[in-house]
Amino acid sequence: MTVTLSLTLWAADLARPLGGPQDWLDGLDKVAAEAAAQGSALLVAPEYVSEAWLIWQKPGFAARDEAALMAQAGAAMGPGIQGVADRHGIDILAGTWPVADGAGRYQNGAHLYRAGGASPLVQRKLCPTPNERAPDRWAIRPHDGLSVFGWNGLTCAILTCLDIELPALSARLAREAPGLDLILCPSMTRQMSGYSRVFACARARAVELMATVAVVGVTGTTPLGEGRPNVSGAAVYLPCEPALGFDGRFAEIGPFDAAPAGDPLGLRLHARDIPVGLIRQLRGAGAEVWPGGWDASGLRIERG
């Protein structure tokens, strides 16, 4: 029988009013219960879900204080997130938030909690945006290592937002992680341009690496009055192969700039029975034109 994977992508909305940490955890619990009922083995939340956690901080903080406040909130939230994973028997990529870099600054860490696990796997973002790096804002520093890890019999990696847009990284993965099955991409995009880049590049990575790419972003604006809207959606992309439906779109919703009426938690995409086993077979033999980890190192670039 072909191996399949079911997962849920949560395009969380930042506009939901929150009185404190438990309100956010209650929302996560509701989404996790829904995902588990749909048969999902994994729930994926977006990049910087932690901006919502600034809502219950004392007012008057400056933009340069936000990374530290989100990091503190994330550390406090961890046991509750682990409790949700354990309660529903579902693994949770709980989005991203700043984590201390050991040198007095912060990096952007994606946190994967496993049901029954002791501590999360944390993958730090490799290439922060100029806005993240800005010294008068978050001063987020890049990370210099990528973990390729095993999960539920699959070989996986987490590429956060801008990381998915880097062809050089994709080329390295093609050479050095040729058995990659699944890429998880939490994202945050302020405008349609950013959404279009991230989701288009996620599709490209699925083709280049003959792998599944699951991408999800936040929507809405926090009630803090900072004027930072977000537009995004959720999608699962596959290689564009006849056996996989030709166009690479396994499941896709969005883009949206707000939660749907009557459901302030935000949109959820339940992607059931993703054919990861068939993709693995095609990677071994039978793909239409895929050249494998093609290496351009011997190519001549000729100027006319």
Query: Which domains, and CATH codes, for the chain?
Result: 5-284 (3.60.110.10)
What per-residue confidence (pLDDT) applies to 81? 98
CB within 8 A of 127, min separation 6: which ones? 142, 162, 163, 166
Continuous segment of H or E residues that includes residue 283: helix 276-284
The single-letter code of the amino acid at 29 is: D
| pLDDT value of position 297 | 85
Work out the burial of residue 168: count CB atoms within 10 Å of its CB; fewer than 13 is exposed, 13-18 middle, 19 or more buried.
exposed
Beta strand 154-158 with 149-151 is antiparallel
Rounded Cα distance, 94 and 123, in Å: 12
- Please give the average pLDDT of every successive group of 10 residues along the chain, which has 304 residues: 92 93 98 98 97 89 92 97 98 98 95 96 98 94 97 97 97 94 97 97 97 97 76 98 98 95 94 98 95 89 92
User: Considering the entire predicted model, what is its pTM?
Assistant: 0.97
**What pLDDT does residue 294 have?**
87
Q: Write down the H helix ranges in 43-119.
A: 66-88
Predicted local confidence at residue 226, as pLDDT: 62
| Dist. CA 173–CA 138, nearest whole Å | 29
Best CA proximity match to 14, nearest among 145, 189, 207, 150: 189
**For position 2, what pLDDT does the model report?**
80
